[in-house]
Amino acid sequence: MSRIPRDVICFGNDFYAASKVSVRQIVEHLHGRGSRLLWVNPVPIRFPNTKQKDFWNKVQSKARTHARFLSRQGDNLYVYSPIYLPLYKGPGFWLNRLAVSAQVLLVRLLLGIRSPLIVGSTWTTWFARWSYVGAPLLFHFADKISSFREVSQYPERRRLLEKMEAELIDRATLNTCSSRSIHEHVLNVAGGDEAKVKYLPHAIAAGVFRLDEDATEPVPAQMASLEGPIAGYFGSLTETNDKDTFLYAARALPDWNFVFIGKTVGDYSELEALPNVHFLGPQPHASLPAFGARFDVTFMGWKAHEWITNCFPLKTLEYLALAKPIVCSGRIDELAERFPQFVRITGSPAEFTSALTEERDRDHEDLRRARREAVRLETWDHRLEEILAALQQLDAKYGV
């Protein structure tokens, strides 16, 4: 019998962002089963790049988040945005650790949270460590956090991240890892302790991405007028995405529509200027199947980087749940190993472009059924049972 924690404190990404990342799926499923949830918004480990055109947007977004301070977002769901000092080196980290830990401890006392399960996926888990002494910690590695893109290229900062990461791995009751390469890395840092390191890949929200039927919702207004084949993308876009390949394909296939759904961070002006490219911005997670139902082919792609090669993109499972062909710019080992028959890996812009048309032309009903079948058990309901069973086996102590 699964032991559902009475209280959960989660150190995740920005609660007010549209993205439904893995750790949010985990804790929302716990909340749905009766856990009271305190969500703590992130503390950054670097100052935003002032040269990026979205610098002030980031500053304003952070300001809006912190203006809410402690807010109630529903029945037994609270969100807290800690105050921190804009110091990102040496003593600043320790001052913020003291400040954030004190704030979270105060909120715990205010809400009467006594024996919680701690769930973390961000560096805020490290900053707040002194606020949950003695509580079991589930730390979920959706990415290899020590290879954080904008910091890890600096040796001194990389060593600091690795030290913080090792401390989290050691402190955690259970570490879960979304890709096999991350699992191998965390297991090595944990000294080979397999009991506390578990491979737990991303999963889909079964209630959103139905696995037995096509989406029947009305065609979204933003896509109603599109004619011709549609290549679609879910998720954030940053400077790490392979926008040169996307640009090449959009120019080479002027009769196709290229639809991007999600937040854009960085300069995508060349793509946006093309008449067959459509940036629809962030959309509610529950509406994604309605958009995806119109796609003929789905795609993704990033520039080569340690952060990317160690990841497993959640959108892969969502694309398969929609029964759509998938084309990927660049190789990610996890995709090539787990879904070789469903994910077309390409090595150049020309190959990527050809693959879009070829995958659309070879699509058929048997392939669509096979794609859905491949992810039938890849749901968060199944993942949560795995987590709870592992915690119970480790004798994690939390209130029920």
Strands 326-329 and 343-346: parallel
- Give yes or no: residues 232 and 147 share one domain: no
pLDDT in the model for residue 126: 95
- Give yes or no: residues 333 and 280 share one domain: yes
**pLDDT value at 32 more than 70:** yes
- Give yes or no: residues 192 and 246 share one domain: no
Q: Indicate the helix (H) or strand (E) that contains 135.
A: none
Q: Does a structural domain hold residue 367?
A: yes
State whether residue 365 is helix, strand or coil.
Answer: helix
- Give yes or no: residues 83 and 167 share one domain: yes
What are the distances in angstroms from CA 79 to CA 13, 41, 72, 158, 347?
A: 11, 7, 6, 30, 43
Residue 208: both structure tokens together: 């959103």
Q: Indicate the helix (H) or strand (E) that contains 355.
A: helix 349-362
C-alpha closest to that of 195 among 60, 399, 394? 394
Amino acid letter for position 73: Q
Question: What interhelical angle do 155-171 and 180-189 show, nearest 10?
Answer: 80
Between 11-25, 38-52, 114-128, 381-395, the lowest mean confidence (pLDDT) is in 38-52
Q: Does a structural domain hold residue 264?
A: yes
CA atoms of 396 and 266, how far apart (whole Å): 42
Note the pLDDT tens digit of each residue in 55-94.
556 556 555 666 667 999 989 999 999 998 887 777 888 8
Judge whether 283 and 259 are in contact, CB under 8 Å.
no
pLDDT in the model for residue 57: 61
**pLDDT value at 49 more than 60:** no
- Give yes or no: residues 237 and 366 share one domain: yes
- Give yes or no: residues 96 and 61 share one domain: yes
Place of tokens 């009903």: 365
pLDDT in the model for residue 41: 95
Q: What is the pTM of this model?
A: 0.76
Rounded average pLDDT over 125-153: 84
Note the pLDDT tens digit of each residue in 251-306.
999 999 999 999 998 899 999 999 999 999 999 888 899 999 999 999 999 987 76
Residue 188 lies in domain: 7-203+379-393
* End-to-end Cα, the chain, rounded Å: 12
- Give yes or no: residues 125 and 158 share one domain: yes
Residue 333: both structure tokens together: 């080992």
Q: How confident is the model at residue 54 (pLDDT cuts 50, 70, 90)?
A: low
pLDDT in the model for residue 324: 95
- Give yes or no: residues 84 and 98 share one domain: yes
Note the pLDDT tens digit of each residue in 327-379.
999 888 888 888 999 999 999 999 999 999 999 999 999 999 999 999 888 88
Rounded average pLDDT over 220-226: 91
CA atoms of 172 and 381, how far apart (whole Å): 22
